Each structure stands twice: as structure tokens, then as C-alpha cells.
Structure 1
Amino acid sequence: MNSTAATADRLEHLHAISSLDWGLVANMLHVSLNAIYFARAGKRMHPRAVERLEALITLVESSPAATPEGRNDWMFEVIDGWRNRIQWFAALGRRGRVPLQGSGYTPAQLLGAVTEDGEPRG
């Protein structure tokens, strides 16, 4: 099975186990809705989005619920006083946060412009 077919299968698996809306999935993967539709049709998806897809599937599969509807409800539960799991996941890897995979440092830290604590050098 090639990687585009595997990605399409993983998207369908995510939808089957969670019944999440495709627009919501697109938002959490940081891609357009068209990118989701293209990937479901067997087109290539950006590698970073595929990485996020696998992380999202892992999160959904960690739910204690046994049904797609239960997992969907679990994703919408508030977890830290104001955000639900969907908002928390969507914020992963965005500016100022550690990427899902990689060195664990921001570009500014890698270039030596700031310390590991995020403080400017100088």
C-alpha cells in the first residue's frame, strides 16, 4: 500500500472511530478542507499534516469511550478550565510551542538568538 492510500485509510479510520466533522479535522491538522478531500481521494498530504493525523488518532484512541459518539463527546470535554481537547490539540505545534516532532527547539533557539528559556541573548 502506498503512502497516499495509507493516509486516506487513516483519515477514514479517524472518522470511523470519532465521527469528527471533516472541517474540524482539517482545522486540527492545520490544512484546508480541500486538502482533506484530496487526501481522502488518494492525493498526497503534507508530511507535517500526516504526522499530526497520527497524533490525533493516538489521542482519540486514548479515550475511555467505546463508541464513536462517546469519543466525539470526550474530545469536546473541557480539560483545563476553558479549553477542550480539540482546542488543545489544534494549538500544538503552533508558534511558541514545542513541535510534535523535531529538535524541541524553536528556530530562534537553534540560531542562538535566544536561550533555551526563551530569553534574548545579549
Structure 2
Amino acid sequence: MEKAANAAFFNMEPLYFKLSSAQKLMIIPDTLAHLDGHPVITQTYSLFKDTDTGNPLIARSKENSLHLEEINDPNYLGHIDFELPDKLFSYHPGKMSLENGELEQVIEFLSNHRDNPQKWN
């Protein structure tokens, strides 16, 4: 059971979410495992305005960003890091950023998604 849940956890499909302001977001998950003797998995979610193009290559072109360089995408809103198991998070805005209320909505959405493995497929 745990192995199946872990396999689903690493299914990194883009997530789509609409803020209460009607702004649509595309959220790209990325997972990094730290193997320094501590069982920590950092889940990073890159946040972009969803331009509704319907082109799957758009999402794929935004995947696997290491956040080591400045991202110049005009729709980039930054990224959120979650730490497991403590569920601590930090927000790193892009050139554009989310307001506090919008950030709270995204964190609530992602927390709900993370806490419900049946949504991972």
C-alpha cells in the first residue's frame, strides 16, 4: 500500500486552480529527495498564471525548473516549498507575486491535494 501511495505521490502532472479572484493558475510540482541521512522530501510547486492555451507542451516546458536561476517567464508567480513530514512551507515570489490571501488559497489547495492521495491519479 505504501509503495503504491509513493508511486502516485511522484506523479508530477500539472495542477490547475482558480483563485477566488477568478485568476487561473497552473501549478507545476517538482520533488527533491535529500539523501544526507535525513528522510526529508521537499516538494516544490512552481506557480504560473494559466494562459488557457490548452497546449500540453507549455506545461512541459515549465517543468523541472531548479530555481537556481532567475525565471524570466512573464507568467511566473514564484514557487512554494513544502517540507515533509513537518509540512512547513516558504514562498519565493517571481517578478510577479501573489497577495497574502491568494497565497493562502494556493497553500490550502495544495495541502488538501497532498493530504488526499486519491487525487494524485
TM-score grouping bracket, smaller chain normalisation: under 0.3
Larger helix percent:
1
TM-score, normalised relative to structure 1:
0.26
Larger Rg: 1
TM-score, structure 2 length as denominator? 0.26
